[in-house]
Structures are given as C-alpha cells and as structure tokens.
Amino acid sequence: MKRYGKLSVIAVLVVLTIGIYYIQPIFTAETKPEFTISEKKGNQELIEDMTIEGYYHENNLFGIGTDLEITPEGTTYYSNQPYQNQLQGSVSANKKMTQLQKKYRSFMRGKNYFLTNFFEDESILAYAEITTNRFSSVTEESEFKIEVLNKKTEEVLSYSVDFPKTTEYVSIYVEDVQVANNKLIVVTNGYASNKDDMQDEQHLYSIDLPNEKIEKDEKIQLDLVDVTGKQVQYVELINEATDIASAKFLVYRVVLEDTQIEMEINQGEQEIAPPVYGLIGVNVETGEQFLIDISKEVGSQGLGDTLPLENMTLYTYKINETSLSIYAYQLDQKELTEVESVALSKTQKKALKEGMTMQINEGLAFFVSSSNASDKDMQIMTFDSRSGELVLEGAIDEKASKSVKRDELGLYGILFQY
C-alpha cells in the first residue's frame, strides 16, 4: 500500500508540474502590461534618465509575480531576463556589470556577479569576496580573496587573507567594498552562532593593501540605538547597492520590535505593533560610529521610508496637515535641517500619502507612490529642495491591450542613469 501511496503522490506532483508549466504562460505572457513614465506638467528632461523599480503581481491566486523596471520608453520584466541577470536583482545593475565586463574583460573574468563586491574610482577597480563551501557556509578554510586593478598601468594586485573567527559564523556575505587611507574596507553581513541562537552581525574589515593583512575589524555598534524593551529584528545597509563609487559615510537602519506591545497583543489585543527604527552612521575613513537621532523631527514613519543619500547628506521627509517638509541630515556635521516646507494642494497631499518612495538627484526631490495604488493616485512629483518649487508632475501610464488592475503594481525604488 505504501508503494501505491508513493506512486499517487508522484502522479499528483507530475500533474501539478505540467499544469503550472502550461498555466503560468497564461498569466505571464498575456497579462503583463506595458507601463511608461510620462510628464504631465513641468520639465520633461527630468524624467528622461529616470527608472522606477517595482513589483507586478501577475496572478494573486497562484502567487505569480515579477520585479520590473519602468522608464519613459517602456517596461522591463526581470522574469524575461536571462537567469544570470536575474541574480543581480536589477536591470540597471546588469547594465553597469556589462560595462565593467566589456571594459575590463580580463579582470572581470571568474568573479561574482554582484556589484556589492566591487569598488571603483578614477584610479582603481577593486574586488573582494569571501570563499565559502558549496552550501554558502563559512569554513576553517574561508578567506578574503582580493584583486585590485590599477587602471593606468593595468597591473593587478591579487592576494588572499584568512577570514577571522571562521568557526563562529554560519554564513556571511559582502555587502559593500570601499577604499580609504590606502586600505580596502570590506563591509560584511552574516550570522554568528552561539549556544542560544543566531545573531545577525555587520562588520567593517580594514585590509592593509601594501601588507596584505587585516588591520582592523569593527563591528557595528547596535547598542548606539536605544533597545530598552525592544528586540532587534534586522539591520540593513541603506546605501545604494548598485553604486560602487566611493562613499564617505555608510548608514544602517536598525529595525526594532517593541516586546512590551507584542506581549500585550499575545494576551488578546488585535492591533498590529508597528516597528521602531533607529539609524547608525559610520565614517568610512575614521571608523567612527554615531547615532543619527532625528526621530523627534521626522517621526518613526520618516525613518522607515526610503532614505536617499547624496554625497554626505541623508534626506527624508514628513507630511504635515497642509505641507511637505523635506529634511537634510549632514553626516559630516551631524546636523539636521529642514531644507524646505512645501505647501500642498488637496490633490497633491492625496498623492503624497505615507509610503511614498523618495529619491534625491542633483538637489531635486522625486516622489513616487511606493504602495499599491489606483489610477488617480499613481503620481510622480518633483520639488526643488532648495526653493520648494514644484518642477514636475508626472504619471505612470499603462499601455495594455486590456485593462489590468493597478492594485497589482507596487513601486519601491527610483534610479537615474547617465
């Protein structure tokens, strides 16, 4: 009987596999709409190099969906890209990777397909990875593999450095690479194991280039954030993952769970406890870590939304009763200023609801709806952060043969390509 039971299970799996194989194209090829970015009022040139990242649910019943990128020319679906390109996680990131592979063909050969492993400036192109076993776990043999290309001489410096404390980490990956004071700084995120549980840890390893050794290991100091009565859920580096240029500062967002509220919910309350956020800044050159304490001014929502970085300035916003306040935090001065308070019409305020994605590009603040939105709410707005002037109103237009529900489209990022 057991034998026939197993055969029945196999038969069901075969039927389901074949069914999904034939059903999925119905929900992918036929229902994928074509979206474009359009200017409705203002400077058309501001959207020419703009890319909006999002996610499209092709069929909620089967859980089928795909990430996408929308430009003024049209839509690119990640699911239509080659598998290797999908690993990168961004069409724009793939474009940068392709540029590097064409320009530095020999140096790029055999390296990981993630921009987070690279650093580039006018003089060098650097690469760092941590070797792991086939299960992506750290072993006693794990090490940093470093390669640095001198763009002028075309010479390549290659060496390996033993990874420290290999027995204490279950897994680890490179989150960013920087160069400062003639040292390669490898930013990592991984899980350290102990007898009780696994803890997420973030480190900055400073590797001395001339001497080929780890000079300093700095762990991100999560205790800079007030965790009294709270539990750390996760920590994220908010610097743009596709930017491999030099960054003077790194910014981490610590997401906390209020354990007291969670206890009350478990005792019968139905209200969902919102997360609590904290921000930690890191000076890449000096290694200094500091608390970015701006929650009183911008509120918890302001810390939870997209926080764009431009040069040494961190931006956020707050929606008031009749206006939009744009804030700039100077990381080098550790000062927060309200850059501009913009008066909003009722229509603008409705569009600029909480959950908007914000991006700063050359002093201009771009806002796009980052949640599932209806046709009327699918707005793009751009303000000059220095004068408060509204310089662009735009929309995401749908070019489809048949109507597709807009609540199936979610937006979460803005990029600019030059």
Question: 127-182, pLDDT tens digit by residue?
Answer: 999 998 887 788 888 999 999 999 999 999 999 999 987 777 888 899 999 999 98
Does the pLDDT value for residue 66 go beyond 50? yes
Residue 346: the pLDDT is: 80
Domain spans in the chain, listed from the N-terminal domain onward: 1-28, 31-81+297-418
Average pLDDT, the chain: 82
Q: In the structure encoding, which two tokens stand for residue 135, read together?
A: 């299960």
Residue 416: the pLDDT is: 87
387 CA to centre of own chain: 29
Question: Alpha carbon of 13 to those of 7, 10, 19, 414: distances in Å?
Answer: 10, 5, 10, 41
- 372 dihedral zone (left: phi>0; alpha: psi -120 to 50; beta): beta
Residue 86: the pLDDT is: 56
Residue 53, amino acid: E
Q: Work out the pLDDT band at 22, boundaries 50, 70, 90.
A: very low
Tell me the pLDDT tens digit for each residue of 330-382: 999 999 999 878 888 887 777 776 567 899 999 899 999 765 545 555 679 99
Does the pLDDT value for residue 125 go beyond 90? yes
Residue 98: the pLDDT is: 87
DSSP states of 8-50: HHHHHHHHHHHHHHHHHHHHHTTT--EEEEEEEEE-GGGGTTE
Taken in order 396, 400, 406, 411, the sign of the CA dihedral is negative
* Window from 101-105, 255-259, 298-302 with minimum mean pLDDT: 298-302
Give the number of other Cβ atoms within 10 Å of residue 100's Cβ. 18
Averaged over 107-121, what is the pLDDT? Answer: 93
Averaged over 312-318, what is the pLDDT? Answer: 92
Does the pLDDT value for residue 217 go beyond 80? yes
Give the number of other Cβ atoms within 10 Å of residue 319's Cβ. 17
